[in-house]
Amino acid sequence: MKRDLWFFENKAYKKGFLKIAGIDEAGRGPLAGPVISAAVILPKNFENTNIDDSKKLTEKKRKSLYSLIYEKAISIGIGIVDNISIDNINILQASLLSMLYAVKNLKIKPGFLLIDGNRKINSDISQFPIIKGDSLSISIASASIIAKVTRDRIMAKYHSKYPVYNFDKNKGYPTKKHKEAIARFGYTPIHRKTFKGVKEHIK
């Protein structure tokens, strides 16, 4: 049975909401780098059968869809919370904060938010969290692609500064080689000091 990725958007449209933003984050699990969220408002006539949860797509496909979404979207907002804040307030709160920033950075204020996960954000805008929303909502799936590609590009830039950690390949996630590099060379200013895999190497 084919999924209707417009199901939640259409429910919101029927309730009278005209501008609906899908929100998702990338980077909860890595040992290094920021957590990044995207908020995407799509036009009602947007159709693309290739849109899906970014984790299910190849890097090449994500980059192609990233360009398409930026071309077609009514508005896109990006929210970034760095590793220092993650260590200070924990990754869950940092993720929710990055989502709030993404919404605030939209050029057009949405009337309704569809959020990936099971939690709402601290906003007065009407909102509905959806578990596995990046596989169920075209707006959230689009946000997942924008957030993922944006974060990957940031980590690729960090790779040029800290090449021994292979951030261009692991994007900060706890791969075997990444953890071995931390054990050998220590941690960088972008590592999350409260995360297992890093904190045990802090002297």
pLDDT in tens, 52-104: 878 888 889 999 999 999 999 999 999 999 999 999 999 999 999 999 999 99
CA angle 7, 11, 12 (to 5 degrees): 120
Q: Domain of 193: which CATH number?
A: 3.30.420.10
Q: Is the pLDDT of residue 30 over 90?
A: yes
pTM given for the model: 0.95
Whether 117 maps to a domain, the answer reads yes
Which residue shows structure tokens 């900060």? 172
Mean local confidence (pLDDT), 121-131: 97
Q: Is the pLDDT of residue 49 over 80?
A: no
Whether 1 maps to a domain, the answer reads no
Whether 2 maps to a domain, the answer reads no
Whether 24 maps to a domain, the answer reads yes
Whether 63 maps to a domain, the answer reads yes
Query: Which tokens in the block code for residue 203?
Result: 């002297």
Residue 12: give the domain boundaries: 7-201
Mean pLDDT, the chain, rounded, equals: 95
Sheet with 75-81, edge to edge strand ranges? 75-81, 35-41, 20-26, 112-116, 126-130
The answer to whether the beta carbons of residues 54 and 62 sit under 8 Å apart is yes
Number of domains composing the chain: 1
Q: SS3 for 56-88, per residue?
A: HCCHHHHHHHHHHHHHHCCEEEEEEECHHHHHH
Which of the four pLDDT bands, split at 50, 70 and 90, describes residue 2? Answer: low
Whether 150 maps to a domain, the answer reads yes
- H or E element at residue 154: helix 138-161
- CA 202 to CA 109: how far, in whole Å? 43
Identify the pLDDT of residue 189: 97
